[in-house]
A and B are shown apart, each in its own frame.
Chain A
C-alpha cells in the first residue's frame, strides 16, 4: 500500500505543479494563449486520472487560470471530487477553487450539501474552518436552508476559531434564507458577550450589517452596544459600533445625548486616526439629530480635524464630514471658506470635487460675487473635462440664485471652448432675460456682441456644444429688439452666410428673429425723415440673403425662410409704391411675453358651473383615432403648426378646438362612402393618447427637428402595415403573390405606399433614409455576418440568442486562419436608430468593444455581443468593422475588416410551446391579423417540412392531423404568431395570424425563402 503511494507520487513528480505553470507562462510571454491552451489540455488529462493528488494539483492550476480570465466551470465536478478528499491539503485546494468559481447557477452545488455537512461536523477544526470559508463564498438559498441548523450548532462550538466563523457566515445565511433569522437571533445576541474578542467582533459585524438594512429593529440592542463601546479596546469593533450608532441616532434622539460624552472621551483619548474620524462623524450625526445648540462644539472639533489634515486622505474625509455639518449649521462652516477655497487648488480631483460641493452649499447673497469670481479664475485653470464641466454647472447653479450681473458671467462662460453645457447656459440666458425687465437692455447689448462674434464660438460646430448659446442670443435680440442700439448691424450679423453651418434648430431661430429685427429696423427707418431708399435697401438685403436658408435641408429653416422671403418681397412691392408698412409689419410680432409665476394659475378662480374633471366630450373611440392619422397632408401640417403655437399658452382652447375638429371629422366620415371602418383591435395602440395628432405635436421638438423619436417611426410603421393588411384583404388571392414583393420594400416610400398614406412631414425624411439600413436581401434565416474578404479571420457561425424584451445576443466565432498571431481585436458596429450595440457604461456611442482574447494561428474562440433592439417588426442590417493587429515574427500590422450584421425577423422569435386549448382561444380572440402564403413544388415529406419550419424559424407544433398542422411561436416582445400549414399535391399553403402584421409578413417572406433555397 505504502509502496503504491510512493509510486504514485513518483509519477507525480513529472507533472507540472502550480509553480511550473506560472514559470511556463512567464517563459512564453509571446504566445501565452497557445501555451495556456496546451496546459489546459494537460489538466484535462490529469483530471481523468484516479489519483486524487494529481486531480488536486490540476484543480490548483485551474484556480490560477481562472484568475487570468479563463472559464473553468467545466471542471466543476472535479472540484467537488477534490473537495471531498479526506486530506486537509486537498480539501483546502478544492474549497478554494469552489469559492473562486462556483455561483448560484452552478448545478453541481447541490451535490455538495452532504459533503459540506460532513466537513462541518469534522473533528478537525481546520476542516470545518475551510468548509465555512468556502461556503461563505458560494452559499445558495438551498444550501442555506439545508445547513442553517448545522451552522447554528457551530455557533456554540468549544473552539473560538470555529465560533467566529460560524457567527460571521450567519449573515450570508440570513441573506439567502431569511426565515433563519428569527430562530438564530437570540444566539447571535449572546455572542456579543462572548469571552473571545474575535467572536465578539464577528457578532458585532453581523449585527451592524443587519442593522444597516433595517435600523429600527435593532434599537433594543442599543444598551448592549453602549456597554461594549465603553469596555472594548478593539478598534475595529469600536469603529463598527460607532458607525452603527450613527445610523441609530436619527431614530432615537435620546440616544444622541447619552452618546456625546463617551464619544468626546474617545476622541480625546484615541491615537488611531480611523477611530477618531468615525467618532467625529457620529458626533455630527448626533448633533444633526438633536438639531439644537452646540454648533460651536462640532465646529471646534472639525477645525482641529481639518487643520490636522496633512495627509491627503484626511483632507478628503474632512471635507466629506464638513458637507454633513453644512446641511444644518451652515454658519459654522462659513468661517472655513478660505480653507476650502485652498482645497480647490489641490491637485487631487477627488478633493477638488468635494470642495466644490461644499462651496456650492455655502453661497449666500453677500459672498456670491466673491465666490463666483474665484470659481471663474479656476475655470480658466482647470484641466480635465469632467472637472471643468462640474465647475461650470456649479457656477451656473450658484448664479441662478440671483439674477443681477448674471448675464455678463454667462457671456464670459461662453468663451470657454469644449464644454458640453452650452444648452444649460442658453436656457439660463433666456430665463433671465424674460424674467427680469430691468436687465433686458443690458442683455440685448451683450447678445448683440455675441452674435457679432459668432465666428469665435462656432469653430467646430459638431463637437462644440457652446453654439447653443447663439440660439438664446438670436432670440433675445429679436424679441427685445427695441433695446438694440444698432439693429441694422445685428440684422446683418444674423444673415451672414456662415450661419448656414450652424445646427438646424439654431438657424430656424435666426431666420425667425431676423424677421422680427427687420420689423424694428423698418420702423426706425420710416420714422426718420430720411428717404425711403434706405428702407428698401434693408428689404433688398433680406431678399438677397434669405434664399440661402430656403435651400436648407432642415424643414423648419426652409419653411420659415420661404415664408418670410415671400413676406419681404411683398413688403418691398409696397415700399416701391411708397406705402408705409412698418406699423403693419411690427404688428406681426406684437405682444410681449410676460413672466408668469409658477403658482399664478392657482389664483385664477374656477368659474361657477365648470367641473374640470368632467370630459368636455367623450374620449375618442378607436376608429376615430385611427382616422386622425389619415388626415390629408395639408391639414396635418396646418394642425401641427397651429397647435404648436397655441398649445403652451392656451391649452384649454386647444382642447376645445380639437373637440370641434373631431366632430367635423365624424360628420365627414359618415358622409364618405369610401371610408372603411378599422377593426376595433387597433384601439390598443392608441389607448393612452387623447388623439393621434397629439403624437407629432408632443414628440417633435422644435429644437431637434431632424431626430425623429423612434417611437413615432414605429407608430408610423405600424399604421402603414395595418393599412397594407387592410388593402390586401380586398385583393384577390392571385394578386397577393405580387403584393408580397412590394411589401418587402416597405422602407422605400415608393408609389404603392404613397397612394393612400399621407404621413406627416417629419417622418418622410426618415423613411427616405431608411433604405440605407434596411437592406432586404436575405442571406440566411439565421442572423448572418457576411464578410467581404477575410484573409486572417473567419466568422464561422452566429447564433441568435434571445433574452428579455429588447435584447438580442449575438455570438460570433472568430477563427484565425492565417499563420500569424492575432491580437487587440476590436469589434464595432454603426448603431442605427433601432438597434444599438450595448457598450459598457461610460463608453461613447462610437467606441468599439474589445474582444477579450487573442488568437494564435488556427485557434478559434467565441465572443458574445449584446444588442438592444427597439422595433422587431422588420429585419435589419448593421454595418460594422473589426480592427485587429496581426503579429508576425518581425512586424505587426494593423488590419481592418468590414462586415454586415443581418438581423432577420425570425431571429426575434422564440420557440414557445402552446397547448391546443390556449391556441384556439387565441385564435378566437380576434386580435390577430391574417396573412397567407402558398408554396408550389415542394416535394418533401410533410414532417420534414414541419421540422424545417420548427428548426429554422423557431416554431413549435401545436397539433397535427394528417396533412394539416397548427404551429405557434412568440416574439421576444410577446407577439403571438400562429401558423396553419396544409399540404396537397406538392403545394403547401400556410395561413398565418399574428397581432403584428408587419412582423408576420416578414417572417412569411423568410419562410418562403427557406423553401426556395432547398
Chain B
C-alpha cells in the first residue's frame, strides 16, 4: 500500500500532497516539512530509499523518492510494495505528466494542481496502484478532458476568453520566477513500462 504521495520543490514548498490515511492539516504540514528535511539533506548520488520518516513512519514504512530538476517526488510505502517497482512508478508518473503538459515544468504543477490530481487518480487509487501503462493513463485523462470541454460548450467560452486575457496580461509571469532549469528532465530508466 502507498501511504502518501508528496511533491515539493527544492525549498520544501508543497506542490501536491495526497495522503491515503487521514491526518489533520497541521500534521500533514508537519509531515511534509519533516520529509523535506530528510530528503533534501541527502546527496544526489546516494540511494533513493530512506527508512523511517517518523510521522507516517514506523519501521514498516519506507520513503522512496526521486529528484527531478526543482522537484522532489516522494512516495511513502509499506513493506508490501517493491522498492524498485515504486521507483519505476514515479518514472511513469513523471513521464505521464510530461506528455500531458507537453514538457512539464514546476509552473504547470503550481497552477494546475487539480489536473495533476486527476492524472494521479488514474494511476493510484486509494493507495493501491491502478494502472502502470502510460498510454492507457493518457487515453483516460484525455477522454475526461474532452468531456469537460464539451460540457463547458458555449457557456464556457467567455470564461475561457477571460482567463486567456488574464494570462495575456502577465506574459512576463513565468520569466519572473527564477527557477533555473525549468523543464523537468526525464532520464531514462531501464525499468518497466
Interface residues of chain A, those whose CB is within 8 Å of chain B, are 2, 5-6, 8-10, 12-14, 17-20, 22-23, 26, 60, 63-64, 66-71, 87-89, 92-93, 96, 100, 103-104, 124, 126, 129-130, 132-133, 136-137, 139, 161, 164-165, 168-169, 171-172, 197-198, 201-202, 205-206, 208-209, 212, 234-236, 239-240, 243, 271-275, 277-278, 311-313, 315-317, 347-348, 350-351, 840-842, 852
- Minimum CB–CB distance for B125 against chain A, Å: 5
Contact between B144 and A347, CB atoms less than 8 A apart: no
Contact between A316 and B49, CB atoms less than 8 A apart: yes
Contact between B125 and A274, CB atoms less than 8 A apart: no
Chain B hits for A103, CB < 8 A: 22
A165 to B126, CA, bound (A): 10
Contact between B87 and A312, CB atoms less than 8 A apart: no
Contact of A17 among B82, B128, B163 (CB under 8 A): B163
Give residues of chain B (107-142) contacting chain A, Cβ–Cβ below 8 Å. 110-114, 117-118, 121, 125-133, 136, 140
Most interface-central of B30, B42, B85, B154 (chain A CB within 10 A): B85
Contact between B118 and A89, CB atoms less than 8 A apart: no
Chain B hits for A8, CB < 8 A: 155
B54 contacts the other chain (Cβ, under 8 Å)? yes
B16 contacts the other chain (Cβ, under 8 Å)? yes
A137 to B22, CA, bound (A): 9
B192 contacts the other chain (Cβ, under 8 Å)? yes
A96 to B115, CA, bound (A): 10
A6 to B126, CA, bound (A): 38
A71 to B29, CA, bound (A): 11
Most interface-central of B128, B162, B170 (chain A CB within 10 A): B128
Contact of B144 among A71, A126, A212, A311 (CB under 8 A): A126
B186 contacts the other chain (Cβ, under 8 Å)? no
Chain B hits for A130, CB < 8 A: 121
| 23 A-B residue pairings within 8 Å (CB atoms) | A5-B155, A19-B112, A19-B163, A20-B166, A64-B114, A66-B25, A69-B28, A93-B114, A96-B114, A96-B117, A136-B125, A168-B128, A197-B133, A202-B128, A202-B130, A208-B80, A239-B82, A272-B191, A274-B88, A275-B192, A317-B84, A347-B43, A350-B46
Number of interface residues of B (CB under 8 A): 71
Chain B hits for A64, CB < 8 A: 113-114
A277 to B192, CA, bound (A): 13
Contact between B128 and A205, CB atoms less than 8 A apart: yes
Contact of B192 among A10, A164, A236, A315 (CB under 8 A): A236
Question: Which 9 pairs across A and B sit closest by C-beta, in order of nearness?
Answer: A136-B126, A274-B84, A103-B22, A348-B46, A235-B192, A69-B29, A13-B162, A313-B47, A312-B47
A585 to B118, CA, bound (A): 86
Chain A hits for B191, CB < 8 A: 235, 272-274
A212 to B55, CA, bound (A): 23
| Contact bitstring B31-61, A, C-beta under 8 A = 1, else 0 | 0000000000011011111110011000000
Contact between B126 and A172, CB atoms less than 8 A apart: yes
Contact of B133 among A17, A165, A198, A272 (CB under 8 A): A198
Which of chain B's residues has its CB closest to A137's CB?
B126
Contact of A60 among B114, B128, B132, B155 (CB under 8 A): B114
Contact of B25 among A70, A201, A840 (CB under 8 A): A70
Which of chain B's residues has its CB closest to A160's CB?
B136
Contact between A212 and B80, CB atoms less than 8 A apart: yes
Chain A hits for B181, CB < 8 A: none
- Minimum CB–CB distance for B165 against chain A, Å: 9
Contact of B159 among A9, A68, A197 (CB under 8 A): A9
Contact between A169 and B125, CB atoms less than 8 A apart: yes
Chain A hits for B192, CB < 8 A: 235-236, 272, 274-275
- Minimum CB–CB distance for B110 against chain A, Å: 6
Give residues of chain B (1-34) contacting chain A, Cβ–Cβ below 8 Å. 1, 14, 16-18, 20, 22, 24-26, 28-30
Chain A hits for B140, CB < 8 A: 129, 161
Which of chain B's residues has its CB closest to A274's CB?
B84
Chain A hits for B24, CB < 8 A: 71
Chain A hits for B25, CB < 8 A: 66, 69-71
B83 contacts the other chain (Cβ, under 8 Å)? yes
A10 to B132, CA, bound (A): 41
Chain A hits for B113, CB < 8 A: 18, 63-64, 67
A271 to B82, CA, bound (A): 16
- Minimum CB–CB distance for B2 against chain A, Å: 11
Contact between B84 and A273, CB atoms less than 8 A apart: yes
Contact between B190 and A272, CB atoms less than 8 A apart: yes
Give residues of chain B (49-108) contacting chain A, Cβ–Cβ below 8 Å. 49-51, 54-55, 80, 82-85, 87-88
Contact between A274 and B14, CB atoms less than 8 A apart: no
Chain A hits for B147, CB < 8 A: 88-89, 124, 126
Contact between B84 and A316, CB atoms less than 8 A apart: no
A5 to B1, CA, bound (A): 44
Interface residues of chain B, those whose CB is within 8 Å of chain A, are 1, 14, 16-18, 20, 22, 24-26, 28-30, 42-43, 45-51, 54-55, 80, 82-85, 87-88, 110-114, 117-118, 121, 125-133, 136, 140, 143-144, 147-148, 151-152, 154-156, 158-159, 162-163, 166-167, 170, 173, 177, 190-192
A747 to B139, CA, bound (A): 74
Chain A hits for B131, CB < 8 A: 164, 198, 201
A874 to B70, CA, bound (A): 55
Which of chain B's residues has its CB closest to A316's CB?
B47
Which of chain B's residues has its CB closest to A243's CB?
B82
Contacts A71-B25, A136-B126, A274-B83 aside, 14 further interface pairs with beta carbons under 8 A come to A13-B158, A67-B113, A89-B148, A133-B126, A172-B126, A198-B136, A202-B128, A235-B88, A235-B192, A271-B190, A273-B84, A277-B84, A351-B46, A852-B30
- Minimum CB–CB distance for A232 against chain B, Å: 12
A6 to B155, CA, bound (A): 5
- Minimum CB–CB distance for B115 against chain A, Å: 10
A18 to B117, CA, bound (A): 14
Which of chain A's residues has its CB closest to B34's CB?
A840
Contact between B114 and A351, CB atoms less than 8 A apart: no
Which of chain A's residues has its CB closest to B167's CB?
A19
Contact between A2 and B173, CB atoms less than 8 A apart: no
Say yes or no: A88-B111 contact (C-beta < 8 A), given A69-B25, A164-B130, A169-B125: no
- Minimum CB–CB distance for B26 against chain A, Å: 5
Say yes or no: A68-B14 contact (C-beta < 8 A), given A60-B114, A198-B136: yes
Say yes or no: A313-B158 contact (C-beta < 8 A), given A136-B126, A274-B192, A350-B50: no
A129 to B139, CA, bound (A): 14
A221 to B151, CA, bound (A): 46
A315 to B192, CA, bound (A): 20
Chain B hits for A124, CB < 8 A: 147
A29 to B19, CA, bound (A): 27
Chain B hits for A68, CB < 8 A: 14
A841 to B27, CA, bound (A): 13
A984 to B125, CA, bound (A): 69
Chain B hits for A202, CB < 8 A: 128, 130
Chain B hits for A70, CB < 8 A: 25
Chain A hits for B143, CB < 8 A: 126
Which of chain A's residues has its CB closest to B161's CB?
A13
Most interface-central of A69, A87, A96, A209 (chain B CB within 10 A): A69
Which of chain B's residues has its CB closest to A8's CB?
B155
A132 to B122, CA, bound (A): 11
Chain B hits for A315, CB < 8 A: 47
A348 to B51, CA, bound (A): 13
- Minimum CB–CB distance for A55 against chain B, Å: 15
Chain A hits for B14, CB < 8 A: 67-68
Chain A hits for B170, CB < 8 A: 23
A67 to B17, CA, bound (A): 6
A890 to B42, CA, bound (A): 35
Contact between A842 and B54, CB atoms less than 8 A apart: yes
- Minimum CB–CB distance for A954 against chain B, Å: 26
A278 to B24, CA, bound (A): 36
